[in-house]
């Protein structure tokens, strides 16, 4: 079965770090560009970052540039999002997603909930 | 940066009726537009890519049209499961969503 299983969501204090994971089954991560998107009450759906299929290109939204890092482990077929310097504005549900073509995202994980609170 | 404006914010319709949703881009984006459906507690689901290409498994009652700055998602004959929130997207930008609710 083709799916993405995201995990790692938690409650953390402002300024702390968290790493989200996204395990891919039924397909090879290297064959697709992969994205992270979050959904917050204040901003709705917000695109965060993309890694190209070959891993050579990574792009970030201005809101997370310098704080978040996308990466992958091809041996385990897992995508990651390392989040540093978290603020309350980062509270939301984080989705990993596979690109069909360009930025059209045809497969989504179920989402990981991140709450940043003191 | 492209801004996507969706209208209306809420559409109140009855099952069997046609829904017409609009997405306007702040600049020419050619056909680089996708549409998603989201129901409560679930991830978005891709409906349309490249403005008019239906994604795999999406019913034929969903259709997308438009190019440049004006785009439309049409749902012919609403089914109960179609009452949801719909988002348009162009690269790293999402619209604010249109809620299709039961009248």
Residues of B in contact with A100 (CB under 8 A): 46, 49, 55
Q: Which two tokens stand for residue A61?
A: 């939204």
Return the percentage of chain B with pLDDT > 70, whole number: 100
Whether B31 and chain A come into contact, CB under 8 Å, resolves to no
pLDDT tens profile A93-116: 999 999 988 899 999 999 999 999
- pLDDT reported for residue A46: 96
Instruction: Please tell me the predicted confidence (pLDDT) of residue A44.
Output: 87
Closest residue, chain A, to B97 (C-alpha): A44
Q: Strands, DSSP E only, in chain A?
A: 3-7, 11-12, 18-25, 34-40, 44-51, 58-60, 68-73, 78-83, 92-101, 104-108, 112-116
pLDDT, averaged per 10 consecutive residues of chain B (103 residues), comes to 97 98 98 97 97 97 98 97 98 96 97
Q: What is the mean pLDDT of residues A27-42?
A: 94
* Per-residue pLDDT tens over the stretch B67-79: 999 999 999 999 9
pLDDT of residue B71: 98
Q: Cβ contact (<8 Å) for B55 and A100?
A: yes
């Amino acid at each position: 079965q083709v799916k993405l299983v995201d995990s790692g969501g938690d409650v953390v204090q402002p300024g702390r770090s968290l790493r989200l994971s996204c395990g891919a089954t039924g397909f090879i991560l290297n064959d697709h560009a992969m994205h992270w998107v979050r959904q917050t009450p204040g901003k709705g759906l917000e695109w965060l970052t993309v890694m190209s299929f070959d891993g050579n290109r990574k792009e970030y939204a201005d809101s997370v540039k310098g704080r978040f890092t996308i990466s992958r482990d091809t041996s385990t077929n897992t995508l990651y999002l390392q989040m540093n310097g978290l603020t309350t504005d980062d509270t939301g549900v984080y989705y990993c997603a596979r690109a069909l073509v360009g930025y059209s995202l045809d497969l989504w994980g179920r989402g990981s909930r991140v709450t940043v609170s003191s | 940066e492209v801004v996507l404006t969706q209208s209306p914010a809420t559409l109140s319709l009855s099952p069997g009726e046609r829904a017409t949703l609009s997405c306007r881009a702040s600049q020419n984006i050619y056909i680089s537009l996708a549409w998603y459906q989201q129901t409560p507690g679930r991830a978005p689901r891709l409906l349309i890519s490249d403005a008019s290409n239906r994604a795999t498994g999406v019913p034929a009652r969903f259709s997308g049209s438009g190019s440049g700055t004006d785009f439309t998602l049409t749902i012919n004959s609403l089914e109960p499961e179609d009452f949801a929130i719909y988002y348009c997207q162009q690269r790293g930008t999402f619209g604010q969503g249109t809620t299709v609710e039961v009248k």
